[in-house]
């Protein structure tokens, strides 16, 4: 059995399509098919079955995928550890974070860290809360910024880095846009632009509205802070966004107003696998972040 066969198998399993897997691997489709066939012959079992235009893992294939992913992840970490042993300053940090931190926070902390450690590389993954936790547990990333911070989790642990206030954002010219602060109940008759299911900001906004005594009327749902902010600025409704998501230039921008009641906040934590030591370069970055946010 060759490592190349494992790489090809995992890629096909994730894409559920030989052609798409071959394109990402930059090899011929026939080469991928041949390696998968040889792997099945060596194992003595079918790993895939055809389902329409896609491939679907057999029960044996699903079992093998779990082990193959672990093997490849362990191999990747081993290579990183060897490189770090030779020179930690030339290692790679695999960092995950939600979309709402991509505009300002992540560029700021990475730029500050690279001033001290210019040769360290970064590999980033954006995602929603469940996918970031999954990628962390599977070993595809070493550290992740998470919101809200998971207080109890068997497989990950970490620290709260900051607690961030959420603001009401209103269309320009809205009757409340000139107020210094408002109570959330004052928006009970408004149409809300809110994040789609699965995004951590959605339940925070929803629960805050319920605490204020009303259920928000949802007019539009989005998956990016830019989309939410843009729709509000265009007069399509109101919303709540954290301050870090409001740093944007451009002519069409919503108005932000502080919410006095109830207080609406979110926690942002930094987490890692609880059953493993961090790679040296990730540990270096972790210590830097603890000092960075303590300073603020």
Write down the pLDDT at residue 54.
Answer: 86
pLDDT-derived band at 70 (thresholds 50, 70, 90) equals confident
> What are the distances in angstroms from CA 115 to CA 88, 110, 125?
15, 9, 22
β-sheet bridge partners, residue 296: none
Q: Using CB atoms within 10 A of its CB, is residue 293 exposed (0-12), middle (13-18) or buried (19+)? A: middle
Q: What is the pLDDT of residue 86?
A: 66
Phi-psi group of 134: left, alpha or beta (phi > 0 → left; psi -120 to 50 → alpha; rest → beta): alpha
Residue with tokens 């809300």: 192
- The closest of 122, 127, 123, 121 to 97, measured between CA atoms, is 127
What pLDDT is stored for residue 172 in this prediction?
A: 92
Q: Within 10 A of 112 (CB to CB), how many other CB atoms are there?
A: 12
**Measured between alpha carbons, how far is 278 from 294 in angstroms, rounded to an integer?**
21
Calculate the average pLDDT of the chain: 90
Domains of the chain by start residue, with CATH: 3-75 (1.10.10.10), 89-159+268-295 (3.40.190.10), 163-267 (3.40.190.10)
Q: What is the pLDDT of residue 166?
A: 95
**Comparison of pLDDT for 261 and 248, the residue scoring more:** 261
pLDDT of residue 9: 92
Beta strand 217-222 with 191-195 is parallel
The phi, psi pair for 255, rounded to 5°, reads: -95, 135
| CA–CA dist 194, 169 (Å, integer) | 11
Give the torsion sign (CA, 222, 131, 288, 91).
Answer: negative
**If you average pLDDT over residues 6-30, what whole number do you get?**
90
**Distance between CA atoms of 79 and 73, rounded to whole angstroms?**
10
Least confident among 110-114, 123-127, 195-199:
195-199
Mean pLDDT of 206-226: 93
Cβ neighbours around 61 below 10 Å, total:
22
% of residues, the chain, pLDDT over 90: 60
Which among 134, 122, 126 has a CA at the least distance from the CA of 273? Answer: 134
Radius of gyration in angstroms for the set of CA atoms belonging to the chain, rounded to a whole number: 23
């Amino acid at each position: 059995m060759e490592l190349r066969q494992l790489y090809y198998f995992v890629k096909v399993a994730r894409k559920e399509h030989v052609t798409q897997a071959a394109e990402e691997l930059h090899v011929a489709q026939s080469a991928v098919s041949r390696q998968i066939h040889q792997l099945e012959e060596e194992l003595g079992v079918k790993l895939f079955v055809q389902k329409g235009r896609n491939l679907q893992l057999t029960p044996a294939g699903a079992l093998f995928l779990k082990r193959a992913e672990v093997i490849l992840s362990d191999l990747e970490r081993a290579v990183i550890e060897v490189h770090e042993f030779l020179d930690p300053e030339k290692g790679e940090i695999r960092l995950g974070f939600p979309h709402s931190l991509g505009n300002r926070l992540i560029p700021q902390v990475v730029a500050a860290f690279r001033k001290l450690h210019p040769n360290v590389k970064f590999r980033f993954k954006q995602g929603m809360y469940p996918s970031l936790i999954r990628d962390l547990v599977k070993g595809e990333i070493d550290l992740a910024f998470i919101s809200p911070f998971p207080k109890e989790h068997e497989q990950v642990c970490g620290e709260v880095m900051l607690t961030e206030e959420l603001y009401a954002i209103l269309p320009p010219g809205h009757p409340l846009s000139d107020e210094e602060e408002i109570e959330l109940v004052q928006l009970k008759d408004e149409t809300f632009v809110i994040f789609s299911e699965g995004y951590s900001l959605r339940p925070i906004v929803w629960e805050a509205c319920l605490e204020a005594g009303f259920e928000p009327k949802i007019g539009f749902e989005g998956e990016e802070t830019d989309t939410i902010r843009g729709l509000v600025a265009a007069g399509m409704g109101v919303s709540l966004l954290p301050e870090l998501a409001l740093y944007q230039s451009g002519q069409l921008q919503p108005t932000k107003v502080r919410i006095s009641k109830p207080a609406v906040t979110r926690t942002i934590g930094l987490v890692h696998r609880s059953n493993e030591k961090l790679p040296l370069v990730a540990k270096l970055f972790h210590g830097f972040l603890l000092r960075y946010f303590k300073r603020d």
